[in-house]
Structure 1
Amino acid sequence: MTPDELSYTADHEWLRLNDSGNAVFGITDYAQDSLGDIVYVALPAIGAELKAGTSCGEVESTKSVSDLFVPIDGTVVAINSELEASPELVNSSPYAQGWLVELEPDAPQQIDDLLSSTDYNAIIDQA
Structure 2
Amino acid sequence: MDENHKTFVHFLVTTGTSLGEAPAIQIAYIDLAARVPDARITKASKRDNHSGYYTGQPKTGTGKPTIGIDRTLANLLHPLLTGNRHRTAFTTGTGACISHKALWQHDWDHAGSVTAGRSCCTF
Shorter-chain TM range is: 0.3 to 0.5
* Structure with greater strand share of residues: 1
Give the TM-score, by structure 1 length: 0.33
Decide which structure has the larger Cα Rg and report it: 2
Give the TM-score, by structure 2 length: 0.34
